[in-house]
Homo-oligomer: A and B are copies of this chain.
Amino acid sequence: MDVDLVQYWLLPFPYSLQRTRAGAMDINVVNALTYEDFVKLFGNVVEKCPLISAAIWSHRPFKDLADIEAHITEFILSLPDSGKEGILRCHPDLAGRDLQSGTLTRESQEEQSQAGMTTLDSAEVLQMYRLNSEYKERFGFPFVICARLNKKADIVGQLSERLKNDRAVERERAIEEVKKICRLRLRNIVLSDIQTKL
CA distance A49 to B80 in the complex (A): 16
Tell me the bound Cα distance from A152 to B2 in angstroms: 54
A35 within 8 A of B: yes
A87 and B51 contact, CB distance less than 8 A: yes
Interface of A is mostly: helix
* Chain A interface category by residue count: 20 to 34
Among A138-191, those with CB < 8 Å from B are 140-141
Q: Is the CB of A58 within 8 A of B85?
A: yes
Tell me if A90 and B39 are in contact (CB < 8 A): yes
**Mask for A59-92, Cβ within 8 A of B = 1, else 0?**
1000000000000000100111111011101100
Asked whether A99 is an interface residue with its Cβ less than 8 Å from the other chain, the reply is no
**Is there contact, CB below 8 Å, between B140 and A85?**
no
When the two chains form the complex, which single residue of B34, B51, B56, B140 contacts A51, counting CB atoms closer than 8 Å?
B51
Which A residues between 32 and 55 are near B, CB-CB below 8 angstroms? 34-36, 39, 48-55
Q: A48-B50, A50-B48 are in contact. Are A55 and B83 (CB under 8 A)?
A: yes
